[in-house]
Amino acid sequence: MKEITVTSHFSVYNTTEELPADIQNLMELAVSTRKNAYAPYSKFRVGTALLLDNGKIVLGSNQENAAYPSGLCAERVAIFQAGAIYPEAKILKMAITAASDSNKTTEPIPPCGACRQSIAEYEIRQELPIEIYFMGETGEVYKSNSLKNLLPLLFNKNVL
């Protein structure tokens, strides 16, 4: 038997004001889009903004459904929309923010497992890492230079 060690590295910004100007703008768009979430069941609202290599910004918010699990997370709404509208474009950067209607979220909220796998598909297909910035409602913002940092042991088409 042998053991392996997998490590992840994140940059941490204390506030959104510390972010580069383009990321501040992306996060502000994610925050405003978060307010459009349809979350009557979880009361947990998520907003996402993507910056594409063609300069376009694509937005997404979580959309729930009484016939659970028919809803969709904000990250997948945004990346699937980008893939449908701009199929040749590459995703450069992603900003994610989450807030609860029940309590203040001050911890950075990363993408869920299903979203990580979906983001991985795009990152692998485009052969270019996606910078991912995520936060709660307020507080620190974490930056990951690639989805592989969040999901280091990727399941992808190469294993099929």
| Residue numbering of the annotated binding site for Zn(2+) | 73, 112, 115
Helix (H, G, I), strand (E, B) or coil at 140: coil
Residues 6+ apart with CB under 8 A from 24: 16, 17
The string of DSSP letters for 105-126 reads --S-----HHHHHHHHHHHHHH
The active-site residue out of 3, 75, 121, 123 is 75
Question: How many whole angstroms separate alpha carbon 57 and alpha carbon 75?
Answer: 13
* Binding-site residues: 62-68, 73, 112, 115
Catalytic (active site) residue 28: no
Question: For residue 92, is it left (φ>0), alpha (ψ between -120 and 50) or beta?
Answer: alpha
109 Cβ contact partners less than 8 Å away, ≥ 6 residues apart? 46, 96, 97, 98, 134, 135, 136
Q: Specify the DSSP element, H or E, that contains 30.
A: helix 21-34
> Binding site for substrate: which residues?
62-68
Catalogue the active-site residues. 75
